[in-house]
């Protein structure tokens, strides 16, 4: 997975809210984030700056905070993005994956049933 480098700073700013919304303790959330961070590549804006305009056009009228994520997907290039934002559907050649899709694609040994 690939993310803009500021993602974990943003998560930290909303840590208490995320813990409450996920019905987890902040310690449990911190542990999940520690594990997640080991599986992502963080990218500085220079890696996707040339795609910001195209991403803004694709997301016209949507949350501008999503623009860097789409720009990064376009710059890599990726086959899609992972989001729970139901307003975002496939666009610009990028598939949109929900968490349930990713769980479906996970190797059998990685699933907890």
Q: Where exactly are the structural domains of the chain?
A: 1-40
Query: How many CA atoms lie within 13 Å of 53's alpha carbon, on the beta-carbon side?
Result: 1
> Tens digits of per-residue pLDDT, 47-62?
999 999 999 998 888 8
Residue 45 phi, psi (nearest 5): -55, -30
**DSSP state letter for 12:** H
SS3 state at 94? strand
Q: What percent of the chain has pLDDT over 90?
A: 27
Average per-residue pLDDT for the chain: 85
pTM of the model: 0.77
């Amino acid at each position: 997975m690939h993310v803009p480098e500021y993602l974990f700073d943003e998560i930290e700013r909303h840590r208490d809210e995320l813990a409450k919304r996920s019905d987890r303790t902040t310690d449990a959330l911190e542990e999940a984030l520690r594990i997640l961070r080991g599986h992502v590549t963080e990218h500085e804006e220079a890696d996707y700056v040339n795609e910001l305009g195209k991403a803004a056009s694709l997301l016209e009228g949507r949350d501008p905070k999503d623009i860097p994520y789409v720009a990064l997907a376009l710059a890599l290039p990726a086959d899609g993005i992972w989001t729970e934002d139901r307003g975002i559907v496939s666009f610009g050649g990028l598939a949109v994956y929900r968490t349930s899709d990713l769980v479906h694609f996970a190797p059998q040994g990685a699933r907890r049933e």
